[in-house]
Amino acid sequence: MTENNQLTIKFGGEGNIRIETLTDFLDHYKQVLYLINSELGYKAEDMIVEVSPPENGSFKIKIKSKYKDLILDKIGDLSVGVLLGLIAIISANINNDNITIERVNDLLEKRELMNKEVPKIVTNVYRNTAARQKIQQTFIIVNNDENITDLKIERNEKEFLNIDNSEFVKIIKSQSITELHKIQESDILTDEATLIIRTIHFEGQAKWAFIYRGYPIKASIKDSTFFEKLNNEAFRKGDLLKVILSRRRNFDEDLQTYIIDQSSYTIDKVLKHSSKIENQGRLNLQ
């Protein structure tokens, strides 16, 4: 059985690598995975990162949810897919000036990374300066170790990337990040989302309760046209809302990643309402 929440990193070369190469490389990958997790709307502590001991110049990174919930458990698969996508576009010398979802999609399809959610998430995370800096730093780390001749990345025992050390400097320079930029203390993340209604409040400014990607949230609704529909449309627990969802992210210095402010979820616009009855038997959150 294949494990999509796992990837294998291999350092090529005949000699031993420096211990700092391994530890620093892993730490930067871990921080990128936390950034990805934040982009997906989860907290850093929702994810467990496991690393196997090095064997024959390689080690395995495995991502999994700390919970048993099957929906949350899928964040490992998606997080690894996004990490692979980020490494792929950076190694292809795509920079912030010419990145588009379409270009990312084409590149990932060629590498058989077919998850339809990945290109958009990869593009969003790539535009986060901190994520690019950390991946660029991993190439600086391996470039500084003269014992490393190449870097290979595998998924499901199949080679995903094979980068010769002669390409390291070119990849580093392509990102045009020569020094660490100041990271924003907070920002607002806004995108399209599908929410499952848990609790409805028809009066006042009380927040509605929802399930978002398997995770309970409360959100205020700012769409005035939506409230006009409440008199003519039936809403039930379990109904789906397709919305434009915003939330604030605050940068945590200790974790070196953005964390979602759980009190900041806001629905800017409701795009579509689907009743529970219409969706019974065909609900798919993947």
Burial of 273 per CB tally in 10 Å (0-12, 13-18, 19+): middle
Residue 239 lies in a domain: yes
Residue 231 lies in a domain: yes
How confident is the prediction for the chain on average, in pLDDT? 79
Sign of CA dihedral 272, 276, 280, 286: positive
* Same domain (yes/no): 149, 204: no
The encoded tokens of residue 20 equal 């700092």
The pLDDT tens digits for 8-56 are: 888 888 777 788 888 888 888 888 888 887 777 776 667 777 777 767 6
Give the pLDDT band of residue 178 (cuts 50, 70, 90).
very low
Residue 284 lies in a domain: no
pTM: 0.60
The pLDDT tens digits for 73-120 are: 566 677 778 888 888 888 887 766 677 888 888 888 888 877 788 888
- CB-CB contact of 133 with 177 (8 Å): yes
* Same domain (yes/no): 109, 149: yes
Residue 179 lies in a domain: no
Q: Output the domain CATH number for residue 206.
A: 2.40.50.140
Q: Which domain holds residue 115?
A: 6-174
The pLDDT tens digits for 227-262 are: 777 777 788 889 999 999 999 888 776 666 678 888
Residue 180 lies in a domain: no
Give me the percent of the chain exceeding a pLDDT of 70: 78
* Same domain (yes/no): 161, 221: no
d(CA 49, CA 33): 9
The total number of structural domains in the chain stands at 2
Boundary-marking domain end, from 174, 207, 236: 174
Residue 135 lies in a domain: yes
Residue 145 lies in a domain: yes
